[in-house]
Amino acid sequence: MKICIVGLGLIGGSYAMGLSLKGYEVYGIDQNQEAIKYAKKQNYIKDGYVDDFHILSECDCIILAIYPQAILDFLKQHSHLFQENQVLTDVCGVKSSFVRKATLLAGKAIYLSHHPMAGKEKIGIEYADSSIFKGANFLITPIDSLNAYAEEILKRIAQDLEFGRITTISIERHDQMIGFTSQLTHAIAVSLVNSDHDEDTVKFIGDSYRDLTRIAMINDVLWSELFLENKDYLLEHISSFEAELDILKNALKQDDKATLKKIFNRSTQIRRKMEK
Amino acid sequence: MKICIVGLGLIGGSYAMGLSLKGYEVYGIDQNQEAIKYAKKQNYIKDGYVDDFHILSECDCIILAIYPQAILDFLKQHSHLFQENQVLTDVCGVKSSFVRKATLLAGKAIYLSHHPMAGKEKIGIEYADSSIFKGANFLITPIDSLNAYAEEILKRIAQDLEFGRITTISIERHDQMIGFTSQLTHAIAVSLVNSDHDEDTVKFIGDSYRDLTRIAMINDVLWSELFLENKDYLLEHISSFEAELDILKNALKQDDKATLKKIFNRSTQIRRKMEK
C-alpha cells in the first residue's frame, strides 16, 4: 500500500516507522526539511516533500498527522489533488470540531477519521517509536455512514501497527469519552503539578506521583487547541470529578472512616477491571 | 546485623527479602502463620514467630511494618522486651499522629521512624519484591534530636536495599509533604476513577489514564487510616489543587488560549525538573 503521511512529528514519524517496517511504501510531507531528512535517513520514508505535493495524488491513503486547524488549511489548499478511492484520515484527539468540515474539503476522496490512543511526552520525529502503539486502543470515528473500504484500510493499518482493541464510534461519542479519559486526565495532572509550591518536593515523591504527573509535561500548542475544541464535554467531566472529590473531602472533614473505605473499595473495583 | 521485622506484608516482606539477600540475619513476626511459612520457604527469614516474641530482645534493629495504631498496641504489649542500643523503626506513611507516643513506649530502646517511598498496588508477602526500593526516596523522620547511632543503622539499611536519595526531616514536615505527594495524589486518582460513570470507558483509555489511575486500586484499611491521621494537611492540599483546577476551568470557559498555554508551560517546567 502506498501511504503519504502529512506531518512528520512524534505520531506521524511513529506511523512512518511502523508502516515502512511492515513493507508499506511510505512518503512524507513536512514544512521542516530536517524532519524529512531524518525520516529518510532512518528509512521511515521512501521520499519526502516540503513544497511539491504531487505525491498526494498517487497514494492509497493519506494520513494527516497535524493539528485540527492545520488539517482544514491543508485540505483547502490541496483538495484538487485528491482522487476517488483515496482514503484520507487524521490522528487528532478531538473530532467534532473539524471532521465534518474536513470531509467536505476532501472532495472525491473518502475521509474517515481515527484516533490512535498512544503517545509520549515528547515532541518531534527524533522520538518516533512505533512500539508505543502495541496493544493500544484504536478508535475509528465515522460521521453518519461508514465507508466499508476506508474502514478496511484503517483496520489493516491498525493491525500492522499492532494496536490492540479497535472500536468504531461516532465523533460525538468519541469526544465525550476522550474528554474524560484524556483531557480531564491531563487537566488534573497539570493542576496537581501547578499546585506544588515547594522547592523540595522532589525529595518526597514516589512512583505514584511520578506516574500521575508525567503527562503534566505537555505540548502547550496542541493541548490548548484540544481543550478548547472539546471544552463543553471537558467542563462537564471536570464537574463530575469535583463532585467526587467533594464526597471524599466531606468524609475526611467528618472523620467518616466507613465512607472513606467505601470510596476506596469502589475505585479499586472500577479500576481493577481495566487492568490489561 | 540481626533484624526483626514485625508484619510480613508487602513492605515487611520486601524488606525481609532484600535484607536477607544482603546477608542480614532476618527474623519475622506476624499474626498469620501462612505469611511466616511463606517467608521461611523463600529464605526471606531465618525464623518466624506468631506468639513467642523473645526474639525481640535479641535484635539490633526492629522494623515495625504494620499500621500506625497497631504499632502503638504492639509497643505497649512488648515494651518489657526492648533493650538499650536497640533501634526501633517503622515504615508508616504518616508520622505526627503516633511517633511521639511510639518513642515513649519504646522505653530504653531508641525509636527512629522512617518512610520508604515505594510500594505496589498489591497486598501480601506473595507480592514482596525488594527491587521496588531501587532508587526510591528514603525519609528519616526524627523528633526533637537525632540519635546518630540509629541514623547510621537506618542509612545502612537504606543503602543495602539500594534506595536513592536519603533525606532527614522532622515528622511535621514529612506529613506536610507526604500529604501532597502521596495522599493528595491518591485522593485525586480515586476521585477520577469514581467519576467514571460509563461502562465502555476501557475502550477509550490510553497509558495516561492507566498510569494516573493505577493507585486508585487502594488498600482501604490502610489508606482510610493514613488519610484521617493526616487530614489537616491533606485538606489544605486539596484546596490548593482545586484552586489550580479553577484557574484552568475559567480559562476554558473564557476561551482564553493564552492562559491555557501559560498553565501548560508552567506544569511542564515544574514537572521536568523531577525526571530521574
Q: Is-contact B180 A207, C-beta < 8 A?
A: no
Is there a single domain that holds both residue A19 and residue A43?
yes
Answer yes or no: do A227 and B260 touch at CB < 8 A. Answer: yes
Which residue among B136, B218, B248 sits closest to A267, beta carbon to beta carbon?
B218
Q: What is the pLDDT along chain A (276 residues), one digit of tens a residue?
A: 999 999 999 999 999 999 999 999 999 999 999 999 999 999 999 999 999 899 999 999 999 999 998 999 999 999 999 999 999 999 999 999 999 999 999 999 999 999 999 988 788 999 999 999 999 999 999 998 899 999 999 999 999 999 999 999 999 999 999 999 999 999 999 999 999 999 999 999 988 899 899 999 999 998 999 999 999 999 999 999 999 999 999 999 999 999 999 999 999 999 999 986
Is there a single domain that holds both residue B153 and residue B245?
no
Return the residue of A nearest to B269 by Cα.
A217
Q: In what helix (H) or strand (E) does residue A239 lie, and over which residues does it extend?
A: helix A231-253
Of B130, B150, B169, the domain-final residue: B169
Return the residue of A nearest to B188 by Cα.
A245
Q: Is-contact A85 A27, C-beta < 8 A?
A: no
Distance from CA of B71 to the nearest CA of A (A): 19
Q: How many domains does chain A have?
A: 2
pLDDT at residue number A276:
66
Is there a single domain that holds both residue A53 and residue A111?
yes
Answer yes or no: do A217 and B267 touch at CB < 8 A. Answer: yes
The count of other CB atoms within 10 Å of the CB of residue A81 is 17
pLDDT at residue number B61:
98
CATH number for the domain that contains residue A15: 3.40.50.720
- Grid cell digits, residue A119: 503517545
Among A38, A31, A22, A104, residue whose Cα is nearest residue A65: A31
Answer yes or no: do B191 and A215 touch at CB < 8 A. Answer: no
- Compute the distance between CA of residue B84 and CA of residue A84 in angstroms, rounded to an integer: 87
Is there a single domain that holds both residue B179 and residue B216?
yes
Q: Virtual CA dihedral for A251, A252, A258, A261, nearest 10 degrees?
A: 100
Distance from CA of B34 to the nearest CA of A (A): 25
Answer yes or no: do B274 and A201 touch at CB < 8 A. Answer: yes
pLDDT at residue number A122:
83
Is there a single domain that holds both residue B8 and residue B135?
yes
- Grid cell digits, residue A111: 475521509
- Compute the distance between CA of residue A144 and CA of residue A170 in angstroms, rounded to an integer: 8
Which residue among A119, A137, A192 sits closest to B205, beta carbon to beta carbon?
A137
Chain A partners within 8 Å of B267 (Cβ): 189-191, 193-194, 216-218
Of A169, A195, A217, the domain-final residue: A169
Instruction: Read off the pLDDT of residues B63-94 as tens digits, 9 standing for 90 and up.
Output: 999 998 899 999 999 999 999 999 999 999 99
Return the residue of A nearest to B217 by Cα.
A268
Angle, in degrees to the nearest 10, between helices B148-160 and B10-21: 80
Is there a single domain that holds both residue A126 and residue A178?
no
Dihedrals φ, ψ of B116, to 5°? -85, 115
- Compute the distance between CA of residue A178 and CA of residue B2 in angstroms, rounded to an integer: 54
CATH number for the domain that contains residue A236: 1.10.3660.10
Is there a single domain that holds both residue B198 and residue B110?
no
Distance from CA of A163 to the nearest CA of B (A): 11
In A215-232, which positions are buried (b, 16+ CB within 10 angstroms) versus exposed (e)?
bbbbbbebbbbbbbbbbe
Is there a single domain that holds both residue A146 and residue A46?
yes
- Compute the distance between CA of residue A18 and CA of residue B158 in angstroms, rounded to an integer: 43
A243 and B CB contact within 8 Å: yes
Answer yes or no: do A234 and B252 touch at CB < 8 A. Answer: yes
Is there a single domain that holds both residue B59 and residue B184?
no
- Mean pLDDT across chain B, nearest whole number? 95
Return the residue of A nearest to B209 by Cα.
A181
3-class DSSP assignment, residue A29: strand
- Compute the distance between CA of residue B172 and CA of residue B94 in angstroms, rounded to an integer: 9
pLDDT at residue number A207:
87
Q: In what helix (H) or strand (E) does residue A78 lie, and over which residues does it extend?
A: helix A68-78
pLDDT at residue number A139:
97
Is there a single domain that holds both residue B84 and residue B191?
no
Answer yes or no: do B192 and A198 touch at CB < 8 A. Answer: no
Q: In what helix (H) or strand (E) does residue A115 lie, and over which residues does it extend?
A: strand A113-116
Answer yes or no: do B216 and A271 touch at CB < 8 A. Answer: yes
Is there a single domain that holds both residue B93 and residue B195?
no
Instruction: Read off the pLDDT of residues B118-169 as tens digits, 9 standing for 90 and up.
Output: 988 788 999 999 999 999 999 999 998 899 999 999 999 999 999 999 999 9
Chain A partners within 8 Å of B198 (Cβ): 177, 180
Which residues, 6+ apart, have CB-to-CB distance to B27 below 8 Å? B2, B3, B4, B5, B45, B46, B47, B48, B49, B55, B59
Supply the range of the domain harboring residue B135. 2-169
Is there a single domain that holds both residue A62 and residue A126?
yes
Residue with cell 502495541: A134
Dihedrals φ, ψ of B204, to 5°? -115, 10
- ipTM of the shown complex: 0.89
DSSP class per residue in chain B: -EEEEE--SHHHHHHHHHHHHTT-EEEEE-S-HHHHHHHHHTTS-SEEESS--GGGGG-SEEEE-S-HHHHHHHHHHHGGG--TT-EEEE--S--TTTHHHHHHHTTTSEE-EEEE----S--SGGG--GGGGTT--EEEE-SSS--HHHHHHHHHHHHHTT---EEE--HHHHHHHHIIIIIIHHHHHHHHHHT---TTGGGG--HHHHHHHGGGS--HHHHHHHHHHTHHHHHHHHHHHHHHHHHHHHHHHTT-HHHHHHHHHHHHHHHHTT--
Answer yes or no: do B248 and A212 touch at CB < 8 A. Answer: no
Of A139, A169, A199, the domain-final residue: A169
